[in-house]
Amino acid sequence: MNIDKLVHDVTNELTSDILPFWINHMQDPRGGFYGRIDGSGKLDADAPKGLILNARILWTFSQAYGMLGRPEYLEAATRAKQYIAEHFIDHDHGGAYWSLNADGSPLDTKKQFYAIAFAVYGLAEYYRAICHLDQAKRAERSLDYARDDSLSLAISLYKSIEDHSYDSARGGYIEASTREWGAIEDMRLSEKDENYAKTMNTHLHILEAYTGLYRVWKDAGLHDRLRGLIQLFLDKIIQPDGHLGLFFDEDWKLHGEMQSFGHDIETSWLLVEAAEVLSESGDLGDRLLYMECLGASRDLAAAATEGLTPDGMIYEYDPSTGYRKEDRDWWVQAEAVVGYLNRYQLAGAPDDLERCLAEWDYIKRAIIAPDGEWYWGRRADGSVNLDDDRAGFWKCPYHNGRMCMEIMKRG
């Protein structure tokens, strides 16, 4: 297999499997999208609806429409955008809720900045997609207001992150707050995370969101914050061994030695993307920062290879205890495909192209579900993980959909 065949394969996977699954099975007649389809493919119509899921749907269909121009993708993106604006946005205190009940009423009203960042990411991409239309077509479809509203809302959410999460004294962003922006005791993103004020994961996805927003809104303040985030990865988050540190206190002291191979490889290309978008300003300092990120990217991808096996990339490893989680989760495999193609395109090493193609071969053999979308993953023993969702709070069309579109753009 070569890159041309890979592009053909992922284009077909995106347009014939992933996106149709979400259009055909997840649209809720009450508005927006259902909250869950379980691992066996059964719909749970009464499941809560998460901001992360809806924002990732918005981003995925917005980018798909911008690339492919199919009206059904714009309809799905607009559906997600409207539902976020009408139900997830906290019109009293600002920001956005963590989750809703199935009927769209608020459920968990805390402000998790990871999730708010995804809303920024999706809204900015929706704006970008609609800007691809000429003025006559926007007017014909009454999209001028939707376009401008999406950018305004993205900027408003960006400002809420800056006002309530940014640590001006020590740098970086705290994890969460109450609905009213007060301190919150449990800042964890999920039950499996450690309860620390700052995490790699939230910083990675604020970086991603600010990159998307800066593409469409060349604000000087946003430029400086994006630059600062990139520098934080280089100075604080990426460790001397090339892996990412995962959990930090407010003073940036690292807690634990867990290595997350999927995040290593995902960051390896998102960091370069952020620095590349930033360097479009033409500033010499931004260009030098981009060059520094190229080296960090290669180191991250090299560190991630410690998790590679002949059958996909394992989840994580803790060198301090010897613990290894050898599940092959869907998102880790998707990010590995992009990350190793990125490293191949930066450095030209044939081994990285082989890793990329081998990962895609494993996905085809083991991760794509024959009845639609992708399984959550495979267990360490090779069995399919049916306990976790096919679609849900965390299982979205974003990692696999974005993988397909990244390959299509790079091929």
Q: Treating both helix axes as pointing N-terminal to C-terminal, what angle do 261-279 and 200-216 enclose, rounded to 10 degrees? A: 30
Torsion (CA) 40, 44, 48, 54 in degrees, nearest 10? 70
* Residue 1 pLDDT: 73
* Phi, psi torsion values for 84, nearest 5 degrees: -60, -45
Average pLDDT over residues 127-155: 74
Average pLDDT over residues 179-186: 96
Average pLDDT over residues 128-155: 74
Query: Residues 187, 191, 196, CA angle at the centre, nearest 5°?
Result: 35
Residue 342 has pLDDT above 70, yes or no: yes
Split at pLDDT 50, 70, 90, the class of 136 is: low
* Residue 260 pLDDT: 98
* Helix ranges, 165-306 (H): 200-216, 220-232, 261-279, 284-304
Per residue in 244-259, pLDDT (tens digit) is 999 999 999 999 999 9
Q: Using an 8 Å Cβ cutoff, are 241 and 273 in contact?
A: no
Residue 135 has pLDDT above 70, yes or no: no
Split at pLDDT 50, 70, 90, the class of 274 is: very high
* Phi, psi torsion values for 202, nearest 5 degrees: -65, -40
Q: Which residue has the tokens 């360490």?
A: 380
Task: Supply the DSSP symbol for 43.
Answer: B
Per residue in 308-323, pLDDT (tens digit) is 999 999 999 999 999 9
Average pLDDT over residues 346-351: 92
Whole-model pTM? Answer: 0.96
From CA 366, how far away is CA 379, in angstroms rounded? 11
* Residue 137 pLDDT: 61
Q: Which residue has the tokens 């952020």?
A: 274
* Residue 133 pLDDT: 63
In three-state secondary structure terms, 148 is helix
Strand runs labelled E in 53-151: 99-100, 106-108, 111-112
Average pLDDT over residues 337-366: 97
* Residue 131 pLDDT: 83
Per residue in 297-308, pLDDT (tens digit) is 999 999 999 999
Average pLDDT over residues 148-175: 96
Q: Which domains does the chain have, with CATH numbers?
A: 3-410 (1.50.10.10)
Per residue in 85-112, pLDDT (tens digit) is 999 999 999 999 999 999 999 999 999 9
Residues recorded for the chain: 411
Task: Give the burial class of 88: count Cβ atoms within 10 A of its Cβ; 0-12 exposed, 13-18 middle, 19 or more buried.
Answer: buried
Per residue in 40-55, pLDDT (tens digit) is 999 999 999 999 999 9
**CA proximity to 60, closest of 395, 411, 410:** 395
* Residue 167, H or E segment: none
Residue 139 has pLDDT above 80, yes or no: no
From CA 94, how far away is CA 92, in angstroms rounded? 6
Number of other CB atoms surrounding residue 283 within 10 Å: 13
Q: Using an 8 Å Cβ cutoff, are 214 and 280 in contact?
A: no
Split at pLDDT 50, 70, 90, the class of 3 is: very high
What's the token pair of residue 387?
A: 């306990």
Under 8 Å CB-to-CB from 377, ≥6 apart: which residues? 327, 328, 329, 330, 332, 333, 367, 385, 388
Exposure pattern of 212-241 as b/e (b: 16+ CB <10 Å)?
bbbebbeeeebbebbbebbebbbebbbeee
* Residue 98 pLDDT: 98
* Helix ranges, 305-392 (H): 330-347, 350-362
Chain centroid to Cα 267, Å, comes to: 11
Going by their DSSP bridges, the two strands 247-248 and 377-378 should be labelled as: unpaired
* Residue 54 pLDDT: 98
Q: Is the dihedral of CA 402, 52, 332, 270 positive or negative?
A: positive
Lowest average pLDDT, out of 16-30, 163-177, 180-194, 397-411, goes to 180-194
Average pLDDT over residues 324-343: 98
Under 8 Å CB-to-CB from 53, ≥6 apart: which residues? 33, 35, 392, 393, 394, 395, 396
Average pLDDT over residues 317-339: 98
pLDDT greater at residue 138 or residue 29 = 29
